Amino acid sequence: MRNLHIAVERFPIAGKFTISRGAKTEAVVVVASIEEGGARGRGECVPYARYGETVDAVCARIESVRAAIEAGADRGRLQTLLSPGAARNALDCALWDLAAKSGGVPAYALASLPTPAPATTAFTISVASPEEMAAAAARANWRPLLKIKLAGAGDPARIAAVRAAAPDATLIVDANEAWTEADLSSHLEACAEAGVALVEQPLPAGRDAALARIQRIIPVCADESVHARQGLADLADRYDVVNLKLDKTGGLTEMLAMAAEAEAAGFGLVIGCMVATSLAMAPALLLAGRARFLDLDGPLLLERDRADGLVFEGSVIHPASPALWG
């Protein structure tokens, strides 16, 4: 007999995490646990207001399929019960974990993927004044890959300040939809002058057609503009890379399918995350070897991670232990 448990957990952020849409000081996550035959599978998600999600609504969506899950619904059935989003992610990853624990077979083997290897993640610098961002970049300038959050007006000065403070790091920037068509070219030129390797979601989703009309002097990555496979076809003339996140795709099942389709269409991959614990990162690590950039620094931004969390050596993440997930 199966039992589903739903829990809301809070983890303080070290300092403050700030993007163009605002700041937060804690990560609020929803954990779905499925117990069956003495085994327990877990999945963690982050309800995201940008996509119209709240903690209560995500919990209610998980609760709405309790009967089906406890009656034995598998990952395939789950795809028809819930649309992409945080609720389906928690359940899907819990079902992967449960299958691995029940069968004694690692999740990567169940997915016919190679054995995970240690991989280097980006480390995020929150948006602030150029001086504040330079100071944060200087403290992190020993890390090989920095992700710089931007906010629109004043971004060329932020980019230049960070580059001066971290001259040897590879930089990727994330505008979180904050740029406009009017400043697109000048901001891209500022990125090029600083040697930025990737620009993520410069324009608002649904208002990004200008990306097809310019010469993209730096690879541009879609984040808010794409969630699951059905949105990929609309990106071909505007983006070079897609950011895959479990909370957008609604779990590992769709992420795997989307990764394959995106690669077949010629897109590069970024494997990203919301600010969350190691439990939310672990399933995404299965795709680390296929990513142009890995952005799974959520646990590094927290004051504390959960027990049996991922092992970080600097910016290098080691694969999850079975005690954590998979």
Catalytic residue among 16, 101, 147, 149: 149
CATH class of 119-317: alpha beta
CATH code at 2-110: 3.30.390.10
Asked if pLDDT for residue 191 goes beyond 70, the answer is yes
For the chain, the structural domain boundaries read 2-110, 119-317
Q: What is the pLDDT of residues 258-290, one digit of tens each?
A: 999 999 999 999 999 999 999 999 999 999 999
Asked if pLDDT for residue 157 goes beyond 90, the answer is yes
Residue 248 appears among annotated catalytic residues: no
CB contact burial 197-225 (16+ within 10 A = b; e otherwise): ebbbbbbbeeebebbeeeeeebbbbbbbb
Asked if pLDDT for residue 166 goes beyond 70, the answer is yes
Contact 155, 179 (CB under 8 A): yes
pLDDT at 23: 73
Asked if pLDDT for residue 21 goes beyond 80, the answer is no
pLDDT at 165: 98
Catalytic residue among 16, 101, 147, 245: 245
Q: What is the pLDDT of residues 84-132, one digit of tens each?
A: 999 999 999 999 999 999 999 999 999 999 999 999 999 999 999 999 9
Q: What are phi and psi of 201, to 5 degrees?
A: 40, 65
Query: Within a 13 Å sphere around the CA of 47, how many CA atoms are in the beta-carbon half?
Result: 22
Closest CA to 201 of 179, 185, 177, 180: 177
Residue 101 appears among annotated catalytic residues: no
pLDDT at 310: 98
